[in-house]
Chain A
């Protein structure tokens, strides 16, 4: 039984796409997530602490430890989650200390997925209510404890900054003084939550809790795990997908200083040494002969040929309204296909895992977005029951979806089976890029008809991997990958005849997975590029064209208008400079972005300015929202300008930052992010910038050159100036 199946056992499979809400993969499973104010069997030592639920620990000194169900990978979630808990708990934020949660789907499962996972920009969305309840419930217990001690009505008490106050008598007790008494109280079933107007923390740009130690070398990432007697290993997997080790000549490698062991498994070879350098040098000195297997001739050309053929087929209908056949037969019909490449994640912290395997137990140190899956997959690889495996989570040096996988832990455990004592396995950058779980290739085709300058019919077909079918099988139902079509079915424009289909097309051999921005990356790109092409057909300005179809979408319209105003939309620009716009519906946020860029005569693209307007509902930490947009935009623009993993002879051709390029500071323009005040529930934000950058840039290039690019990354040859 796989982990995912197990976690969904016994639950209703009422998996319906949410409608009417710009969702971002809101799986409407009926997930029986434990109430977040229930007392639990604590996984940690709670002796002498007030431990009302899985998230809050207060000791006698008043120190408040908050246990983080979501992982910190740069998105600021440790601070946001702490703010939500501390707001309702009314604790002193300066006293808050955070801890990584241990592996437990039961205690720390994400309410949206039903398993312990950080992703899909839903930490704040998914935990907003449950954590407020957890905080408020704990606060109520502290109030009851104080009220009983004072023999007064709980309603006559208030709380502030980690203290309970009896207003009338002026008496006060700190939470630390109430630990023992509060522990005897039962968590209340229903607690009143604060009126948002009374928030003292939420909405303030508070300093992040995780950043001070990131300025002085003290922060500990998975790769920094250090254990007594630890050995260091690095590995090489068969460079051809699916290939195996045929023969290894280790005679030269064995003679090198610091080499302890050479571990040969069926698909990889690892060297264990006194340090990474010894392991790396010896790995380079090995002569490995590979059995390249059945994908030795696989190339990107084959994959694109197959995907294009698949995208010509009829798909499964994901959404349909109106009479699409009739609408597409009326008036002039336009059609375009958009293609997105494989991408590696290239987190700055290369993939790694440290494992200490003993005959009857296993301990793992790593940084993961799915620590409970690390535990269960690690147990499977070790051949041990789950309860014999301890998985220690760490800060993540970037996640971006790479660490939603446990493949690195499985490999490290397989290596550790041959090693006496703890071993840290660190991937070289080359291995990290050439053995990733890649953002899939997508081909999206949209056909539309226009009448009176508005869209009448819209038929959109997405062809690509069903990541969810592998990653969370119960979520893949009726042949539809709800991630791949997420923002295709939520197109914000008022289109009377609207139809979306999905064709599952899996590339041979190449593993595919989530990548920052997830499914909406392909949807928002295709939709927003095509909108610009339709605007031109209709003879309209791209912003006006969109505005005319957002009459029923005030939040999108407000974002679009603000982005247009702040970006000086419509004001004249020099030759070969353009502005491009993107409106995106994903993750329950309402965002419009304008990129201004210049295309020089050689076809090189220079970013000049980026402006985003963001309505993401109630904002927990506004500075974090701004930072996520800034960074997400860079992430998406990096992909648009450079990102492509190419396969030839079954091998990934890119290997390191020299040939898998990243945007750098000297190419980064001014970025202005404008937040729109809102009282709506919080939306998601971490993915959104990655969605916004590519279509806005592509549309800027369209405006600057008149060339309608339909593939990423940007092909300079197509947009170079005329040769003189």
Chain B
């Protein structure tokens, strides 16, 4: 049995070590908030945190994680940056279909945890790996700034 700490909880499961974390989360553990988009780390829909940093779970072998902490969209609200991002996302009504937004929120939360007041270049660098087919980018940018400042941008 493999073990991981996910959102602060110990999880045991049976999976081959080369299996990407994405499918362990979704198909074995039933944590379906993390989304499958491309399978080749091109879209960011599957973004999770490993020790607080953004990682594409579709290409992360579960055996490589070891004792590092996994945080998913289901647990991100328990972090200060995650809670701020979730609130700003709703305040500015960022979301349309929402399918990519788990990944967007995870990427934005990691950005805010690392850079307290990101400028446009920081946002571009941190978020350009996350595709939104509904085209919510202008609101994502505004919501990150609002989450950082606590003000309406």
Contacts and interface: CB of A to CB of B under 8 A. Distances in A.
Interface of A: 73-76, 207-208, 210-212, 214-221, 223-224, 226, 232, 257-258, 274-277, 280, 346-350, 395-400, 426, 428-429, 623, 627, 630-635, 638, 656-658, 662-666, 668, 670-671, 689
Contact of B138 (A274, A348, A630): A630
Interface string B14-53: 0110011001101110111111111110110100000000
Interface of B: 15-16, 19-20, 23-24, 26-28, 30-40, 42-43, 45, 72-74, 76-77, 86, 89-90, 93, 95-102, 105, 123-125, 127-141
A207 B131 contact: no
Contact of A221 (B43, B77, B90, B99): B99
B137 A668 contact: yes
B137 A226 contact: no
Contacts of B74: 216-218
Given A211-B98, A396-B97, A658 B133 contact: no
A257 B17 CA distance: 12
Contacts of B30: 226
A214 B137 contact: no
A396 B141 CA distance: 24
Given A348-B43, A627-B96, A657-B42, A215 B90 contact: yes
Given A74-B134, A226-B30, A665-B140, A215 B95 contact: yes
Given A232-B27, A276-B36, A665-B132, 4 more contacts: A74-B95, A348-B134, A398-B133, A656-B39
A208 B32 contact: no
Contacts of A280: 39
A671 B135 CA distance: 11
A257 B16 contact: yes
B93 A219 contact: no
A428 B28 CA distance: 18
Given A348-B99, A630-B136, A664 B131 contact: yes
B32 A214 contact: no
A635 B97 CA distance: 13
Contact of A662 (B77, B123, B131): B131
A671 B16 contact: no
A215 B36 contact: no
- Most chain A beta-carbon contacts within 10 A, residue among B34, B45, B131: B131
Nearest to A430: B39
Given A215-B101, A216-B74, A226-B30, A349 B135 contact: no
Given A217-B33, A348-B100, A348-B132, A657 B138 contact: no
Nearest to A426: B36
B129 to A, nearest CB: 8
A349 B130 CA distance: 14
A212 B77 CA distance: 12
A666 B97 contact: no
B98 A226 contact: no
Contact of B33 (A216, A631, A638, A671): A216
B35 A216 contact: no
Given A216-B77, A665-B127, A276 B27 contact: yes
8 contacts: A226-B30, A257-B16, A396-B97, A627-B136, A631-B136, A634-B134, A664-B128, A665-B141
A657 B38 CA distance: 7
Contact of B35 (A207, A348, A671): A348
A153 B128 CA distance: 63
A426 B127 CA distance: 26
Nearest to B96: A74
| 6 pairs of A and B residues whose beta carbons are closest in the complex | A217-B33, A634-B135, A397-B99, A74-B97, A214-B98, A74-B96
B134 A207 contact: no
A662 B101 CA distance: 16
Contacts of B129: 664
A633 B139 CA distance: 14
Q: Which of B20, B130, B136, B141 has the most CB of A within 10 A?
A: B136
Tell me which of B31, B42, B86, B89 has the highest count of chain A C-beta atoms within 10 A of its own C-beta. B42
A281 to B, nearest CB: 9
Given A211-B93, A276-B27, A658-B40, A631 B102 contact: no
Given A277-B23, A348-B100, A212 B133 contact: no
B45 A348 contact: yes
Given A211-B98, A214-B98, A429 B37 contact: yes
Candidate in B39, B42, B72, B95 with the most chain A CB atoms within 10 angstroms: B95
A224 B98 CA distance: 13
Nearest to B30: A226
A207 B90 contact: yes
B135 A632 contact: yes
A71 to B, nearest CB: 11
Given A214-B101, A348-B133, A634-B135, A397 B35 contact: yes
B131 A348 contact: yes
Contacts of A75: 96
B133 A633 contact: no
Contacts of B100: 348, 397
A211 B135 contact: no
B133 A630 contact: no
A346 B133 contact: yes
A398 B132 CA distance: 10
A207 B93 contact: yes
Contacts of B98: 74, 210-211, 214, 219, 395, 397
Nearest to A638: B135
Contacts of A275: 15, 19, 23-24, 27-28
A630 B139 contact: yes
B126 to A, nearest CB: 9
Nearest to B85: A215
Nearest to A671: B138
A211 B95 contact: yes
A258 B13 CA distance: 14
Nearest to A73: B97
Contacts of B33: 216-219
Contacts of A224: 26, 32
A32 B61 CA distance: 57
B101 A277 contact: no
Contacts of B19: 275, 277
B44 to A, nearest CB: 10
Contacts of B93: 207-208, 211, 623, 627
A277 B14 CA distance: 13
B139 A627 contact: yes
B137 A665 contact: yes
Contact of A664 (B32, B38, B73, B137): B137
Given A257-B16, A348-B100, A631 B134 contact: yes
B104 to A, nearest CB: 9
Residue among A666, A670, A671 with most chain B CB within 10 A: A666
Nearest to A670: B138
A258 B15 CA distance: 9
Nearest to B26: A276
B19 to A, nearest CB: 5
Contacts of B130: 664-665
Nearest to B126: A665
B32 A400 contact: no
Contacts of A215: 73, 77, 86, 89-90, 95, 101, 105
A221 B23 CA distance: 16
Contact of A276 (B23, B96, B133): B23
A214 B33 CA distance: 9
Contacts of B131: 348, 657, 662, 664
A627 to B, nearest CB: 6
Contacts of A218: 33, 74
Contacts of B36: 223, 276, 350, 426
